Structure 1
Amino acid sequence: MKFHFRFSLQDPPFHIRLAVSTLSIFMASYIAPGVHLRDILAAFIVALVLAVFNITIKPMLILLTLPVTLFTFGIFLFVINALVILIAADLVNGFDVSGFWSALFYSFLVSVISGILHAIAQNLSQRTPPTRPQA
C-alpha cells in the first residue's frame, strides 16, 4: 500500500506555513475594515482553526460548489474562503468579522499577504549561507 502526501518536498514545513499564516492573518486585520483581532495569540488560534477547516470543511465546500467555481474560473474560491473565515470568527474569541463583504475582502488580503510572505520565506530558505575564509 502506498501513501501519497499532498505536499511536495519543496513545500515549507508545517510550522513555517503556520507562522506565515499567523502573520498574514494578523497583518490583514489591520488593513481590512470590519475585521478585528485582539492580539497575535488570537491570530495564531485563527491560523490553527483555518488549517483544520482547510483540511476538513473546505474540500467538501469546494466539491459542492465545483460547477460555480469552474464557471467563475476559481474566483468563487474567495467566497468559500470568506464563509470559512466567518465560521472561524464565530468560534475564536478575539476574532471578529462584521459581515460577508468584510470577510471576502479579508480573505483576499490574507491570500495576497500570505503569497508574498511565502515567496520571501522560500527565497530566504534557498539562500546559501556565506562561507567563512579558512585560516
Structure 2
Amino acid sequence: MTSVLKNWLINIIIITIVLMTVAGYMSSFKLDGVGAAIEASIILSLLNAIIKPLLIILTLPVTVLTFGLFLLVINALTLMLTAQFMGDAFQISSFGSAILASIVISILNLLIQNFIVKPLSKK
C-alpha cells in the first residue's frame, strides 16, 4: 500500500471518529450511524481535496483581510455541501452550527494528528 493511500485511509478514520464525536455532542449535527459517518468522511475528504483549494484561491483577499478566519467559513461550507450530498443521513441544522462544528472538528483533528498519529508514525 502506498504511503499516500495509507495516509488517506488514516485521515478517513480520523474524520469518521471526529464526525461521530461532534454528532454525539451537538444536537444540531446529526449522523445516521457509523456507515453515514464513513460516507460523510469520504465525501468531505474529496471536497477538501478538490473544492476547498479553489474556494481558498477565490476568497484569498477576504481570507487575508480576516487574518485567516474566513477559512472557518470555507470549512463550514464544505461541511454543509457534504450534508447536501448525503441527504437525510447527515444533517446540519444551520450555518452557525456548521461553523461551530467546523471549529470543533478542526481542533479535534489537530489534537488527534499531533498527539496520536505523529508519535505513532515515528516509531
For Structure 1 versus Structure 2, the TM-score category normalised by the shorter chain is 0.7 to 0.9
Task: Confirm or deny that 1:102 pairs with 2:94.
Answer: no
**CA–CA distance in 2 between the matches of 1:27 and 1:17?**
15
Structure 2 runs not aligned, ≥5 long: none
Q: Which residue of 2 aligns with 1:18?
A: 12
Task: Confirm or deny that 1:48 pairs with 2:53.
Answer: no
Structure 1 runs not aligned, ≥5 long: 1-8, 128-135
* Alignment of structure 1 residues 12-91 onto 2, 5 Å: 13-91=7-85
Amino acid in structure 2 at the alignment position of 1:79: V
What RMSD in Å do the two structures reach over aligned CA positions?
A: 1.5
Task: Confirm or deny that 1:125 pairs with 2:121.
Answer: yes
1:95-126 superposed Cα distances (whole Å, 9 cap, x missing partner)? 00001000000011111111111121211232
Q: Given the two structures, how large is their TM-score scaled by the length of structure 1?
A: 0.80
1:16-41 superposed Cα distances (whole Å, 9 cap, x missing partner)? 11111111111112223410011111
Count how many residue pairs are aligned between Structure 1 and Structure 2.
117
Amino acid in structure 1 at the alignment position of 2:25: I
Q: Given the two structures, how large is their TM-score scaled by the length of structure 2?
A: 0.88
Amino acid in structure 2 at the alignment position of 1:99: S
Q: Percent identity?
A: 33
Q: Is the 8 A contact 1:35 1:97 kept in 2?
A: yes
**CA–CA distance in 1 between the matches of 2:81 and 2:36?**
15
**CA–CA distance in 2 between the matches of 1:32 and 1:75?**
22
**CA–CA distance in 2 between the matches of 1:124 and 1:110?**
21
Q: Secondary structure at the match of 2:75?
A: helix
Point out the structure with max Rg over C-alpha.
1
Larger helix percent? 2
Amino acid in structure 2 at the alignment position of 1:41: G
**CA–CA distance in 2 between the matches of 1:36 and 1:84?**
16
